Amino acid sequence: MLLSLSIKNYALIESLETDFSNQFSVITGETGAGKSILLGALGLVLGNRADLTSLKDKAQKCIIEATFSIQNYHLEAFFAENDLDYEERTIIRREILPTGKSRAFINDSPVNLQELQELGTYLLDIHSQHQTRALTEAVYQLEIIDAVANNSTSVAKYQQQLADLKAKQKQLHEMLAEKQLLEKEHEYHSFLLNELLAANLQEGAQEILEQELEQLSNVEFIKEQFSRILAIANEEQIGAIVQLKEMRLALQKLSPFSATYLELSERFQSTFLELEDLFNECEQSNDRINADPERLDYVNAKLQALYSLQKKHQVQSIAELLVIQDQLDHKVLKVDDLEVQIQKTELEVQKAIAAIDAIAQQITNDRKEAIPQLVSKIKTILAQLGMAEANFQFDLVTTEHYFSAGKDELNVLFSANKGTDFGLLKKVASGGEMSRIMLAVKSILAHYSKLPTIIFDEIDTGVSGEIAIKMGEIMQEMSLTMQVFAITHLPQIAAKGDTHYKVVKRSHGATTISELVLLSPEDRIAQIAEMLSGKEVTASALEHAKALLN
């Protein structure tokens, strides 16, 4: 509920601070006194756009602050989601600076307009004749039925499963699109993969083949060099080995004469053995290497195949080709893996559809049961408001489409008088009729759901007498379960309020200001009498005012 409102430097208001009761409050005043200014200020608290025209003194900032009691609205989750401090007495402040910049705060934490607007929907419902158009919208009409049907839990479960279904359907759609793309490329990828697999790629093999190719291509030169080495080593008279043996023998003969000579002999022996082993390996290598044209052709073809693959895939090594081979293998196998995942997801989607259809059907059944009750209640209230012949027809049709709150489409048909044909509510109901229907609906909803504070802005336009009295009684009854305000020109409704405020416009020098005054019992009698008879209050008007108040 709205506990208090503070306004500074807004429109015709210099400074205003008012506390409110939790009952039925009425606000009256002459046309142009500033009742719409109050609504404008509250609109800013709800997140409406602001501009410099709102400032009374363009050199000073405008501050509007509203305090709400929110302990019964279960808004802890909203405050947690938006990283705000939850307070049972929550203060919303809106500031408009002389620069035109606007700032908003919830419990002193800065917020954006979207957060303010979202919170505002839970706290305040400003209802005017122009806003009765919501009554013609199917979404709102279904919300009314669901309130009477006590469908809040079922609708919340439906919405949760709808989100889950949409997520699964999106996942399935993405998989199918990916599969379609992969299938287009599958044949080409398979060809490329088989080509790489046929090459039997092994890391390091290219270097070995290139080395072998060099040997096979230069067999004659290599054998010529080995033959030369062996000839030098093994010449009978002057071969290197013969000469080295003689040197070894000479050093062996010198070794007894000195430790130095002994060391030289040992070192030479080691070197001789190494050279002897080296010559033996040269001989073996010479024996192993032979001209092999077939092997040469094979190695050359193998390398050319590797070079061709590297060129095709724009890489420089077998290691890089192996990476590409793994990637192609993954893509080829992914089609099969994806098919399995698609089948699994399709099954999940079918299960989700079955589950949500069951909940949607339950919601539909509950709505069908609630519609006769709702129609009966609306007709009863409208009869009290002078529309005894009004009748409604709710055409509820179940579709295959998943809407935000079920699978139903709704058309509300209305007939204002007996014998007249039914027509769509939004087309055949007049503004005055829509206002009374909305009042009836709000009255009914007050018994079924926790409505925010509601402000009726001249909803009584076009009515008078007993009908006005009944409208006041309905608002008064609503105030037993919620906070209700009524801005009115009718004394019959003003008299039903538990508290009565008057908007007064006064001139101070060269400026005009508006004030909101809480009327005392005596002032209230005078105000209602003035509403009855005009500026010249008569004795009979005073008596009539007292009668209305009593």
Euclidean distance between CA atoms 254 and 262, whole angstroms: 7
The tokens describing 105, both together, are: 């705060």
Euclidean distance between CA atoms 41 and 15, whole angstroms: 12
50 pLDDT more than 90: no
12-16, 32-36, 78-82, 511-515: least confidently modelled range: 32-36
Assess whether 113 and 208 both reside in one domain: no
Q: 397 lies in a domain?
A: yes
* Per-residue pLDDT tens over the stretch 519-536: 999 999 999 999 988 888
Q: 61 lies in a domain?
A: yes
Q: 169 lies in a domain?
A: no
Domain closes at, from 307, 331, 355: 331
Domain closes at, from 287, 315, 331: 331
Contact 302, 209 (CB under 8 A): yes
Assess whether 265 and 299 both reside in one domain: yes
* Per-residue pLDDT tens over the stretch 452-475: 889 988 887 777 788 889 999 999
315 pLDDT more than 90: no
What's residue 159's pLDDT? 94
In this prediction, what percent of the chain has a pLDDT beyond 90? 37
Assess whether 315 and 432 both reside in one domain: no
Assess whether 219 and 301 both reside in one domain: yes
497 pLDDT more than 70: yes
Assess whether 215 and 144 both reside in one domain: no
Assess whether 497 and 533 both reside in one domain: no
Mean pLDDT confidence for 385-406: 92
> What angle (nearest 5°) sits at the alpha carbon of residue 97, between those of residues 96 and 103?
50
Assess whether 31 and 134 both reside in one domain: yes
Euclidean distance between CA atoms 442 and 2, whole angstroms: 18
What's residue 354's pLDDT? 95
Mean pLDDT confidence for 429-439: 84
- What pairs with residue 55 in β-bridges? 10
What's residue 186's pLDDT? 66
Assess whether 319 and 410 both reside in one domain: no
Map tokens 């790489």 to a residue: 196
Give the chain's radius of gyration (CA, Å): 48
Give φ, ψ of 91 to 5 degrees: -110, 125
Assess whether 132 and 260 both reside in one domain: no
**pLDDT band for position 433 (cuts 50, 70, 90):** confident
Domain closes at, from 331, 358, 374: 331
Q: 345 lies in a domain?
A: no
357 pLDDT more than 90: yes
- pLDDT: which is higher, 448 or 183: 448
Mean pLDDT confidence for 439-451: 85
* Per-residue pLDDT tens over the stretch 75-102: 999 999 999 999 999 999 999 888 888 8
**Where in the sequence is the domain holding 395, given as residue range(s)?**
2-149+385-519
Q: 355 lies in a domain?
A: no
User: What is the DSSP annotation of 287-334?
Assistant: HH----HHHHHHHHHHHHHHHHHHHHHT-SSHHHHHHHHHHHHHHHHH
* Per-residue pLDDT tens over the stretch 338-353: 888 899 999 999 999 9
Assess whether 533 and 506 both reside in one domain: no
Assess whether 194 and 143 both reside in one domain: no
Mean pLDDT, rounded, of the chain: 86
What's residue 406's pLDDT? 94
The three-state (H, E, C) secondary structure of 353-403, written as one string: HHHHHHHHHHHHHHHHHHHHHHHHHHHHHHHHCCCCCCEEEEEEEEEEEEE
Mean pLDDT confidence for 218-245: 78
Q: 371 lies in a domain?
A: no
356 pLDDT more than 80: yes
The CATH number assigned to the domain holding 476 equals 3.40.50.300
> What angle (nearest 5°) sits at the alpha carbon of residue 261, between those of residues 255 and 262?
55
Number of domains in the chain: 3
126 pLDDT more than 90: no
**pLDDT band for position 327 (cuts 50, 70, 90):** confident
- pLDDT: which is higher, 32 or 382: 382
Assess whether 197 and 213 both reside in one domain: yes
**pLDDT band for position 11 (cuts 50, 70, 90):** confident
Mean pLDDT confidence for 181-197: 74
What's residue 410's pLDDT? 92
What's residue 20's pLDDT? 92
Q: 159 lies in a domain?
A: no
Q: 235 lies in a domain?
A: yes
What's residue 164's pLDDT? 94
236 pLDDT more than 70: no
- What pairs with residue 393 in β-bridges? 413
Euclidean distance between CA atoms 437 and 439, whole angstroms: 5
What's residue 129's pLDDT? 61
What's residue 413's pLDDT? 92
130 pLDDT more than 70: no
Q: β-strand 484-487 against 499-508: which pairing, if any?
A: unpaired
- pLDDT: which is higher, 35 or 314: 314
Contact 5, 42 (CB under 8 A): yes
What's residue 507's pLDDT? 78
Could you give the residue ranges of the DSSP H alpha helices within 199-317?
A: 205-217, 219-234, 240-254, 259-288, 293-313
Mean pLDDT confidence for 208-221: 76
23 pLDDT more than 70: yes
What's residue 205's pLDDT? 76
283 pLDDT more than 70: yes
